[in-house]
């Protein structure tokens, strides 16, 4: 049975318990068991993003890789960011985009720095001539299971600058190069609405992303630029074994009783980037496996 056949979604992908696995940050896809599915063998493009010039932060692995693959198979060129320690992962994303027949530009970039965000936008304009779709996807989290006292200022600053500041700078800097019909898509989380105590600082940023998305959408509506966000529930990505203490039961709390695979998130981003979503802005598309949200 393939991913396209009608079936019980709770049984479509691996269910907990997974083998307990711990990795140093930022994690390694190759070492994960089970191996995440990014849509390598299943995603079928239909030309919905033909010729779009797209920028994706954190495109080396996880949701970002799945989105880059899907965008390329829909006809888009892809510039994506990664950290220096993620070079092996970035090579794989590049391979998938090129195999789809589209341009791949992989950029080492630390979006915690405004100058780096400016360099990234300048590079995208130099490579593509403009930006049609910006996906603010890169994120950092680190579990602190006991109390707020464990969250250092250094950690709090890293989470805020990665998840919120980078999104703000890239959105602001990209807009002069974005035409009518352009789209900004942010990645928030179920944590924005149902925060886990051990992810207090991360959940705080995800709430901020919801507010930023809805506010910026109103600001840009008269320019014909849409701003939306995707709110995933638990997703099986390298960030999980790299930042959480228990991987064996990850995702079992969702009504579908399993985590999502990155491939299951990508269609939401494709839809919001495409002209199919022409009347959708200021929206949060929840992909939480059934967890009810406001």
17 in any annotated domain: no
Options 43, 140, 193, 202, the catalytic residue: 202
Instruction: Confirm whether pTM is higher than 0.85.
Output: yes
33 in any annotated domain: no
7 in any annotated domain: no
Active site residue 202: yes
188 in any annotated domain: yes
103 in any annotated domain: yes
Residue 146: the pLDDT is 78
Residue 1: the pLDDT is 67
Cβ atoms of 141 and 241 closer than 8 Å: no
1 in any annotated domain: no
41 in any annotated domain: no
* Distance, CA of 286 to CA of 233 (rounded, Å): 8
Number of structural domains the chain divides into? 1
Domain carrying residue 252: 46-287
Cα separation values, 228 from 174, 212, 231, 275, Å: 15, 10, 10, 13
pLDDT along the chain (294 residues), means of 10: 86 93 91 96 97 98 98 98 96 98 98 98 98 98 88 96 98 98 98 94 98 98 98 95 89 95 98 98 97 84
* Distance, CA of 269 to CA of 276 (rounded, Å): 12
Residue 158: the pLDDT is 97
Residue 266: the pLDDT is 98
C-alpha gyration radius of the chain: 18
Chain mean position to CA 86 = 16
**Domain CATH number, residue 148:** 3.40.50.720
150 in any annotated domain: yes
């Amino acid at each position: 049975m393939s991913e396209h056949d009608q079936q019980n979604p709770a049984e479509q992908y691996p269910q907990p318990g997974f083998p307990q696995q711990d990795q140093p940050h930022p994690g390694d896809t190759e070492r994960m068991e089970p191996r995440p599915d990014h849509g390598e063998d299943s995603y079928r493009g239909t030309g919905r993003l033909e010729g779009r010039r797209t920028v994706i932060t954190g495109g080396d692995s996880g949701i970002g890789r799945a989105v880059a693959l899907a965008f390329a198979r829909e006809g888009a060129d892809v510039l994506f960011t990664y950290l220096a320690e993620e070079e092996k992962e970035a090579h794989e994303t590049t391979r998938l985009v090129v195999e789809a027949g589209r341009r791949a530009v992989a950029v080492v970039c630390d979006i915690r720095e405004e100058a780096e965000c400016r360099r990234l936008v300048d590079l995208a304009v130099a490579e593509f001539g403009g930006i049609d779709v910006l996906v603010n996807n890169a994120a950092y989290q680190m579990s602190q299971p006991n109390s707020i006292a464990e969250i250092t200022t250094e950690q709090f600053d890293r989470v805020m600058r990665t998840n919120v500041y980078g999104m703000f700078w890239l959105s602001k800097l990209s807009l002069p190069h974005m035409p009518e019909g352009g789209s900004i898509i942010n990645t928030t989380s179920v944590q924005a609405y149902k925060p886990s105590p051990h992810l207090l600082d991360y959940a705080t940023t995800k709430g901020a992303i919801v507010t930023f998305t809805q506010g910026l959408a109103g600001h840009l509506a008269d320019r014909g630029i849409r701003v939306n966000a995707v709110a995933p529930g638990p997703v099986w990505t390298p960030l999980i074994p790299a930042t959480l203490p228990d991987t064996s039961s990850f995702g079992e709390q969702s009504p579908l009783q399993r985590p999502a695979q990155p491939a299951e998130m990508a269609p939401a981003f494709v839809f919001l980037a495409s002209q199919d979503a022409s009347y959708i802005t200021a929206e949060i598309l929840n992909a939480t496996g059934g967890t009810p949200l406001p």
